[in-house]
Structure 1
Amino acid sequence: MPAPFNLAAHVLARATDRPDKIALAILGPTKAERWSYARLEAAVRGTATGLLKAGLEPSDRVLLRLGNSADFPIAYLGAITAGVIPVPTSAALTAPEVTALAADLSPAAILHDGKAALPDHPASVHDLATLRSWRDLPPAEYATGDPDRAAYIVYTSGTSGQPRGVIHAHRAILARQMMVDGWYGLTKDDRLLHAGAFNWTYTLGTGLLDPWTIGATALIPQAGTKPDLLPLLMKRHEATLFAAAPGVYRQLLRASPLLDQPHLRHGLSAGEKLPDQTRAAWETATGTKIHEAFGMSECSTFLSGSPARAAPPGTSGYPQPGRRVTLRTGGTEANVGTIAIHRSDPGLMLGYLNAPEETAARFDGDWFLTGDLGRAEPDGAIIYLGRADDMMNAGGVRVSPLEVEAALAAHPEITDIAAAEVAVKSNATIIAAFYTAARDIVEDDLKAFAATRLARYKQPRLYRRLAELPRGANGKLLRRQLRADFETEKDPVP
């Protein structure tokens, strides 16, 4: 663990030996906005100077309310350069949502693009013109110190309840080095196109910080780019790696079932479980594989397949080299249990903001309990079974919603699928399937389809077509909302 240390200095170290190389290209349909490593570092360090001149001090928290533009990563790394703690948030959050976060966070300042909703909070607000003017200021020195000190805070998606602030240390960037070979197969010559928005942590890490750390080029589609345009951008800009959430892969493949990508080596997927049907369709369309990873806000990704060691079908892959991962049940290791990662992992959070008791409750001795269930294969690969609180009960037998969804996703008319246990009476629950399709599918036909692929106790008792499945800003399925909507008789079918 190097000390003294600064996360931003580590990420931008390649600016010294390759100043003129393109670090970032923001891709539009007709032109691209390009940033060299030297220009990027100058903007980041100038922003750090601006933050300090604005009265911010090391360890102050600054809330980022910025959209899908280069302003976001420059502000993020500028804050870390100065020792200020940035808090990236989705631009899609509403005023009430971001007000609740600000009350928990107590930011010293807010960086605002003029579009994203602002919280009802007394912190000073710095607009986009001010933020951009800081880039031309003299460069600040990197604020170095203990790699175990707080560097940034991210908020959980809220899929399991109230969003929580997750505090990460500067050392977190060192854990990401385990993904370079353990997931990406990333080299300095790669051109990695990430389909997500700048202000999503998946894009921020996989799409920007990791390519910059190794000296590669990050390619990001400009705001508003539709999935059907991605194949053109990938080919035109010679993308060698493509990263996206499973939902983007599905949309892209619906628009383009055959993809001519001569430069592409493979795809990367994270954010939720990748359906086997999507994986197979991508391999047919491109002739390349998708390597999937599993992780969480508290520890980024730590299970994955890779070009060096492909994950067996149906699994989330292997613990990345250097990671200590196990399954635990009742305080002991088990073949089926809660996925847990050792507290020594440099990527593991420092803790939840303002919640020491909740932080302590997530540990079983030296093991951090993710709340996700897995089953170990004989070769060490782990099959992801879903969130512990998403597991369904069928007559006393636990059923993973992912298993039900994988079976039903093969139906030729279903475009999206989710399974959940819902209450139909005060004392009775059933397994229900919620799907999207162009029409209502006869329920008896769906039941017959399920009967050929699932044991009787795993088969849904009820099917409901929705206009769309509820998903968060990062595309994750919100099962809690799905259950609540059903149980309060909200019917979003048009």
Structure 2
Amino acid sequence: MHSLFDLGAFPCAPASFNMAAHVLAHADKTPDKVALSVISLTDVDDWTYGALKSAVLGTGAGLLKHGLKPGDRVIMRLGNTVEFPIAYLACIAVGLIPVPTSSQLTASDVEKMVAELAPSAILRAPTVACPETPGIVQIDLEALEDMREYPPASYDMGNPDRLAYIIYTSGTSGVPRAVCHAHRAIWARQMMHDGWYGLQSNDRLMHAGAFNWTYTLGTGLMDPWSVGATALIPASAVSITELPTLLAQHKASIFAAAPGVYRKMLSDHPDLHLPDLRHGLSAGEKLSETIREEWLNDTGTALYEAYGMSECSTFISASPSAPAHPDTLGKPQNGRRIAIVDSAGPVPVGSEGTIAIDRRDPGLMLGYWNAPEDTAARFQNDWFLTGDQGIMDRDGYITYAGRADDMMNAGGYRVSPLEVEAALSRYPGLLAVGVIDVEIKQDVRVIAAFFTASKAVDIADLETFATRTLARYKQPRLFKQLDALPTNPNGKLSRRALRENFEAPK
């Protein structure tokens, strides 16, 4: 029996399709229902479906009046405000190609994107870093806000396979790549509604992230709007410590966040009382069993994890209807065709290999911008290779074994850093852990653990803990406490930066 999940393909998107029209379809059915609440402890800014659609199509009309035309690329340098999703959908609605970017990027980072994409415009907030771009129009926040009042544009309908938006991913090499997605990507996300969220039109889904994070854009906004639910987004000044109060106050039924947010909430609030919450969603990095167990014990609700990537969003997950087996990510969502492969194709059940996606998956990227060779290198026959290692059991559940390029070698044994991190994260007081293998002298590599903690840690005691919880060859030989672990612009641990910043002891 091979490691192959295939229960049949998901239905194709309509022949005439627009992603924004799909997201905002409920505006015509329930125009007065609240689509979005931007919330803080003292204020609520509500947007109805009708008002949201009017702002999106008005902004689309304004962008066209600035001389932009369908197919033009538009880089988004906007902050954590509602203008971000409005401008994003406005571009897609009228056939422009938005490029949402993290506000943490530097002007130099954006300059490289400008050189690569040759955008026709940049949407710019004054507080967000951006290079000067002679010859490329920059549209400021005031102009974007004025566009909301324009007479609405019409949706640019067309082939669902045409380019809709571009997002940047850090890439396995550390070099950012421009990932091109089709309009059909939103159609494919319907597989997540049952396969991860358990999403319903009466849900109130709160996402802990900022508007200008792609995890928030998809899970926190586009998906709930697609089913007519209400999205709850904390205002930019809200801190993690205030999230439990907001969840309770606004009767959130689903909560979505990265594992680090759950960790912080559990640390700061030993007694979480969330009577309206049905469950939580986790993505962005591996969720530890410790966090999962503590959240269940404290709130009485489950956390459902999803695995995905910029090239295909999430496609393996646990859900209320199919909870994960212990220590697994879950299973492929119905409609997906997923395999664990080696160079010859799907491997036997129970064997480790590369997690792979059928190249015909409707949520899979079109390719990397102007990089046909890099795109082709990610495919092997019918499979898109994620670069992540996994093991599939007979029921289709997949255990994550780490990135192929993150796997460590300790005395001839291959060790996943995730396994070591999960074990060390159970040590009292540790807030975050990052594990890599490092070269301490020529041809000698050892496992090193870097961590942050609420107070100074007794390294000898931590070493003793590791001895009790890990096999000898998996135990770190070096431990170092840091003020913070390095992350990439998406907030994920950067093992590459850990390795580059490491200085071998003298």
Report the TM-score, using the length of structure 2 for normalisation: 0.95
Q: What is the CA distance between 1:285 and its match in structure 2?
A: 1.3
CA distance in 2, matches of 1:160, 1:342: 23
Aligned counterpart for 1:31 among listed residues 43, 47, 61: 43
Matches of 1:50 and 1:325, distance apart in 2: 42
Query: Which residue is equivalent to 1:232?
Result: 245
Q: Which runs of 5+ in 2 are unaligned?
A: 1-12
Judge conservation of contact 1:238–1:264 (CA < 8 Å) in 2: yes
In the aligned structure 2, how far is the partner of 1:18 from the partner of 1:124?
36
Map of 1:12 onto structure 2: 24
Match of 1:320 in 2: 333
CA distance in 2, matches of 1:488, 1:405: 21
- Match for residue 386 of structure 2 among 344, 354, 370: 370
Asked if 1:110 is matched to 2:126, the reply is no
Amino acid at match of 1:381: Y
| 1:184 correspondence with 2:200 | no
The counterpart of 1:379, out of the listed 374, 395, 398, is 395
| Count of residue pairs brought into register by the alignment | 490
> Paired residue for 1:485?
501
Name the structure 2 match of 1:200: 213
Deviation string 1:116-147 (CA, Å, 9 cap, x unpaired) is 01134331100001001111101111001110
Could you say if the C-alpha distance between residues 133 and 301 of structure 1 is closer, same or farther in structure 2, counting changes exceeding 3 Å?
same
Distance in 1, matches of 2:504 and 2:31, equals 57
Aligned to 2:97: 85
Structure 2 Cα separation of the partners of residues 413 and 238 of structure 1: 31
Tell whether the 8 Å contact from 2:206 to 2:254 is kept in structure 1 after alignment. yes
Larger deviation: 429-438 or 205-214? Answer: 429-438
Are residues 1:155 and 2:168 paired? Answer: yes
One of 132, 138, 159 as aligned partner of 2:151: 138
- What is the Cα deviation at residue 158 of structure 1? 4.5
Gaps of 5+ in 1: 490-494
* 1:472 matches 2:488: yes
Structure 1 SS opposite 2:486: coil
Supply the AA of the counterpart residue of 1:40. L
Is the CA contact (8 Å cut-off) linking 1:258 and 1:284 kept in structure 2? no
Matched, 1:46 2:58: yes
What TM-score comes out, normalization by structure 1 length? 0.97
Greater mean deviation of Cα atoms: 194-203 or 322-331: 322-331
Counterpart position of 2:407: 391
Deviation at 1:442, TM superposition (A): 3.1
More deviation in 96-105 or 343-352?
96-105
Which residue matches 1:492?
none
Q: How far did 1:453 drift?
A: 1.3
Give distance in 2, aligned partners of 1:202 and 1:414.
26
* Residue 450 (1) aligns with residue 450 (2): no
In structure 2, do the counterparts of structure 1 residues 30 and 401 end up closer, same or farther at CA, with 3 Å as the change threshold? same
Quick check: 2:77–2:122 contact (8 Å CA) kept in 1? yes
Instruction: Output the CA distance in 2 between the equivalents of 1:275 and 1:258.
Output: 20
Aligned residues with identical type, % of pairs:
58
Cα distance, 1:176–1:95 mapped onto 2, change above 3 Å = same
Letter in 2 for 1:37: Y
The answer to whether the Cα contact below 8 Å between 1:103 and 1:121 also exists between their aligned partners in 2 is no
2:314 corresponds in structure 1 to 301
- Measured after TM superposition, the shift of residue 487 of structure 1 is 4.2
The amino acid across from 1:375 in the alignment is I
Question: Higher relative CO (CA 8 A, sep ≥ 6), structure 1 or 2?
Answer: 2
Task: Please point out which of 260, 277, 280 is paired with 1:264.
Answer: 277
CA shift, 1:15, in A, is: 0.4
- Secondary structure of residue in 2 paired with 1:345: coil
The structural deviation recorded for 1:313 is 1.6
Moved more, 443-452 or 460-469: 443-452
Q: Which residue of 2 aligns with 1:217?
A: 230
Q: Is the 8 A contact 2:409 2:415 kept in 1?
A: yes
Residue 425 of structure 1 and its aligned partner are, at CA, apart by 1.7
Q: Deviations over 1:25-71 (max 9, x none)?
A: 00021111010000000000001101111011111000000011110
C-alpha separation between the residues in 1 aligned to 2:229 and 2:358?
30
1:472/1:478 contact within 8 Å kept:
yes
Asked whether the 8 Å contact 1:343–1:368 carries over to 2, the reply is yes
* Alpha-carbon separation, structure 1, partners of 2:139 and 2:381: 44
Partner of 2:76: 64
Distance in structure 2 (CA, Å) of the matches to 1:212 and 1:362: 32
Cα offset, 1:377, TM superposition: 2.2
Secondary structure of residue in 2 paired with 1:76:
helix
**C-alpha distance in structure 2 between counterparts of 1:406 and 1:478, whole Å:** 17
2:355–2:390 CA contact under 8 A, matched in 1: yes
Deviation at 1:330, TM superposition (A): 1.8
Please tell me the residue identity of whatever aligns with 1:138: P
Superposition pairs of residues 396-407 of structure 1, within 5 angstroms? 396-407=412-423
